[in-house]
Amino acid sequence: MTDTAFLRQIEGFSLTTAEILYRLPDHPKLLQSYIWQDYDVAPRFPKLIDFLDFWDSNLDGALYRVLVAHRRLIQPAEFSFVAGELRLH
């Protein structure tokens, strides 16, 4: 069984979290918060942009603000194979 999250991190994806604040359709003066999280590529964040485009096209809640945080959990330089063993640095 392959761990796709691990493979994506090796490919350069980072864990990305976005707090999306949007206006309630029936009460536009009120804001609601939605948390989105996935592995994405900084600094362009194509998966997040696709999600926000989908939101803007298909959902009634107008976007107010998006805060983005990301963290590379694994970087290729952090490990190496030595004599058939995997050693973490």
3-62: pLDDT as tens digits: 787 788 777 788 899 999 999 999 999 999 999 999 999 889 999 999 999 999 999 999
| Confidence (pTM) | 0.74
Interior/surface letters 52-78, b for 16+ CB within 10 angstroms, e for the rest: beebeeeeebeeeebeeebeeebeeee
Q: How far is CA 6 from CA 11, 23, 67, 70, 89, in A?
A: 9, 35, 25, 16, 17
Tell me whether the omega of the peptide bond preceding residue 43 falls within 30 degrees of 0, making it cis.
yes
- The answer to whether the beta carbons of residues 87 and 79 sit under 8 Å apart is yes
What would the mean pLDDT of 64-85 be, rounded to a whole number?
72
